[in-house]
């Protein structure tokens, strides 16, 4: 991983957690009546209202996680007085790539992934200041407990010869972190001196680490990348290839899914009719049933555009996600960015002007949301339609979309009502953002000082509490 704008650690949006049916927990309003005097006079009523957000259903049924309830408060009795922040209220923007005592990193921190309830955030960093006694800048995977401030390194690149770690993604229930581990196997021949990579899963509760790129087809157990993990951590999707060390022709990347409970691995990417050269960038639904991926498909003229596909593992049906509305060939590359928890919606970016009719910005990029159930595609235009939108990410229920508007900044849009809320101005930067289950918290990495105490002049990981106004 480098500290520039192009980094080796590329984030995988966290597969936020729920099953196809969102369980809803209703907290009944409780009315407290104070005792009165013997005359029976009632002096007042104290009403306590607690509104609970939907619970996030765990596919295993054992680890359901619900975001914390929000307690309604009344406005100030003096409307003209400036608003004040309660002493225990967290800031609108919080830097997460610091230790509990506020020690900042001396190298870049990137690629955040957030749990469904917003409590835990995984990210990668080269900082040497996060671990006492560290003497060099070693790639590591860290988990931040947003509530307590505790920062824990769960994997380090120097654990293997010539090693590095990255691409962390946390499960929706916040218990598991999948990541890529690169290292040099001196016993494997090849022009890259035995360079290999694996996908590992760390259980944050037990401390156990498990390799999941196993049981693959012959020749594919060499280079694995891009993990995505289901809500309960049972299923892990990833790409794998023989490149670059297996003798003979290299085998193109394909997408696999590992069932950690059954101990089985299956191929889920199938070359389309015109022949795909590689499948990459997997995303998986909360229950592990639907997997989306990018396919690099060669066409005449030597161009290799990226198309987006989704496969239902139960039925075997394959969907072309970024198909142009008029049946014409793809004009430009598409980039897969997200999937809803129930697998119904898939989000991608594309500068192609023929995904939908009457695209107002021509070859400018837009975010698109594909409804696999209805077979429809929705284009997300910028506030100024001539500008671009990109890097879309859905909340668990598919209702809210986070994306970057080139003229406005990071935006949260309610896809049901069309209402938008600006989460971050363009000056905040950030190449990717991940969002929790209900869209209240988003995490991103950015270069620059977004908080006064940021003086390290490198990339940091931040959390934005969307419902709080910016300072």
Question: What are residue 349's DSSP bridge partners?
Answer: 335, 367
Q: Which CATH architecture has domain 46-60+90-465?
A: 6 Propeller (2.120)
The Cβ of residue 253 has, within 10 Å, a number of other Cβ atoms equal to: 28
- Predicted pLDDT of residue 355: 92
C-alpha 67/C-alpha 416 separation (Å) is: 21
- Residue from 436, 433, 437, 415 nearest 424 by CA: 433
The Cβ of residue 87 has, within 10 Å, a number of other Cβ atoms equal to: 5
Average pLDDT, the chain: 79
Q: Report pLDDT digits (tens) over 392-413.
A: 999 998 999 999 999 999 999 9
| % the chain with pLDDT above 90 | 55
In the structure encoding, which two tokens stand for residue 238, read together? Answer: 């990833």
Token look-up 């914390």 returns: 68
- Predicted pLDDT of residue 369: 97
- Residue from 19, 27, 25 nearest 54 by CA: 25
Q: CA-based angle 34:39:41, to the nearest 5?
A: 45
In the structure encoding, which two tokens stand for residue 333, read together? Answer: 């590359």
Token look-up 């849009």 returns: 413
Q: Is 115's pLDDT higher than 60?
A: yes
Query: In angstroms, what CA-CA distances link 338 with 157, 228, 271, 321, 420?
Result: 28, 11, 21, 12, 19
In the structure encoding, which two tokens stand for residue 323, read together? Answer: 């198909």
Q: How confident is the model at residue 365 (pLDDT cuts 50, 70, 90)?
A: very high
* DSSP symbol at 439: S
Q: Report pLDDT digits (tens) over 156-186.
A: 987 777 789 999 999 999 999 999 998 877 6
H-only helix segments in 283-434: none
CA trace torsion 110, 96, 429, 352 (10° rounding):
60
Q: What's the average model confidence in pLDDT over 252-268?
A: 93
Q: Is 89's pLDDT higher than 60?
A: yes
- Predicted pLDDT of residue 243: 58
* DSSP symbol at 49: -
- Predicted pLDDT of residue 12: 36
Q: Is 76's pLDDT higher than 50?
A: no
Q: How confident is the model at residue 304 (pLDDT cuts 50, 70, 90)?
A: low
N-term to C-term CA, the chain: 32
Could you write out the DSSP letters of every residue in 335-373?
A: EEEEE-TTSSEEEEEE--TTSSSS-TTTTS-EEEEEETT
- Predicted pLDDT of residue 100: 96
Sequence-ordered list of residues with C-beta below 8 angstroms from that of 22, at least 6 positions apart, any chain: 54, 55, 56, 57, 341, 342, 396, 397
Answer for the pair 148, 141: CB distance below 8 angstroms, yes or no.
no
Domain ranges of the chain: 46-60+90-465
When comparing pLDDT for 236 and 296, which is higher?
236
Q: Using DSSP, state whether 50 is helix, strand or coil.
A: strand
Answer for the pair 183, 192: CB distance below 8 angstroms, yes or no.
no
- Residue from 451, 469, 465 nearest 97 by CA: 451
Query: In angstroms, what CA-CA distances link 460 with 372, 416, 440, 454?
Result: 36, 33, 20, 9
Q: Using DSSP, state whether 428 is helix, strand or coil.
A: helix
Q: Is 47's pLDDT higher than 50?
A: no
């Amino acid at each position: 991983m480098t500290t520039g704008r192009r980094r080796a650690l590329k984030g995988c949006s966290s597969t936020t957690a729920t099953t196809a049916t969102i369980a809803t927990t209703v907290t009944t309003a409780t009315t407290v009546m104070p005792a009165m005097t013997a005359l029976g006079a009632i002096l007042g009523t104290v009403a306590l209202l607690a509104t609970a957000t939907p619970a996030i259903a765990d596919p295993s049924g054992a680890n359901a996680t619900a975001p914390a309830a929000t307690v309604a408060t009344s406005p100030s009795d003096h409307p003209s007085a400036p608003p004040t922040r309660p002493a225990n209220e967290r800031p609108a923007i919080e830097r997460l790539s610091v230790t509990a005592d506020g020690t900042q990193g001396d190298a870049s921190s990137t690629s955040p992934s957030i749990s469904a309830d917003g409590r835990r955030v995984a990210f990668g960093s080269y900082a040497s200041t996060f671990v006492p006694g560290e003497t060099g800048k070693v790639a590591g995977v860290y988990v931040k407990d947003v509530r307590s401030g505790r920062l824990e390194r769960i994997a380090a690149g120097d654990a293997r010869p010539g090693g590095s770690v990255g691409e962390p993604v946390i499960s929706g229930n916040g218990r598991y972190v999948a990541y890529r581990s690169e290292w040099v196997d001196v016993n494997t021949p090849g022009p890259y001196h035995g360079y290999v990579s694996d996908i590992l899963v760390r259980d944050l509760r037990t401390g156990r680490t498990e390799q999941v790129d196993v049981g693959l087809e012959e020749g594919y157990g060499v280079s694995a990348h891009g993990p995505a993990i289901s809500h309960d951590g049972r299923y892990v999707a990833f790409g794998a290839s023989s490149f670059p060390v297996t003798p003979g022709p290299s085998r193109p990347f394909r997408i696999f899914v590992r069932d950690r409970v059954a101990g089985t691995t299956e191929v889920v990417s199938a070359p389309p009719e015109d022949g795909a050269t590689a499948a990459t960038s997997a995303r998986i639904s909360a229950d592990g049933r639907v997997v989306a991926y990018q396919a690099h498909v060669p066409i005449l003229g030597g161009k290799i555009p990226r198309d987006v596909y989704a496969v239902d593992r139960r039925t075997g049906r394959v969907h072309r996600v970024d198909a142009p509305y008029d049946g014409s060939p793809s004009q430009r590359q598409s980039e897969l960015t997200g999937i809803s928890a129930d697998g119904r919606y898939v989000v991608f970016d594309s500068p192609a002007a023929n995904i939908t009719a009457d695209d107002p910005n021509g070859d400018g990029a837009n975010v698109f949301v594909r409804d696999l159930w209805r077979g429809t595609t929705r284009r997300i235009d910028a506030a100024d339609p001539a500008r671009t939108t990109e890097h879309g990410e859905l909340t668990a229920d598919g209702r809210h979309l986070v994306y970057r508007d080139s003229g406005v900044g990071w935006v949260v849009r309610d896809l049901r009502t069309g209402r938008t809320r600006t989460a971050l101005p363009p000056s905040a930067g950030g190449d990717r953002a991940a969002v929790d289950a209900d869209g209240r918290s988003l995490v991103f990495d950015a270069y620059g000082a977004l908080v006064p105490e940021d003086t390290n002049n490198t990339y940091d990981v931040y959390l934005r509490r969307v419902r709080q106004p910016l300072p």
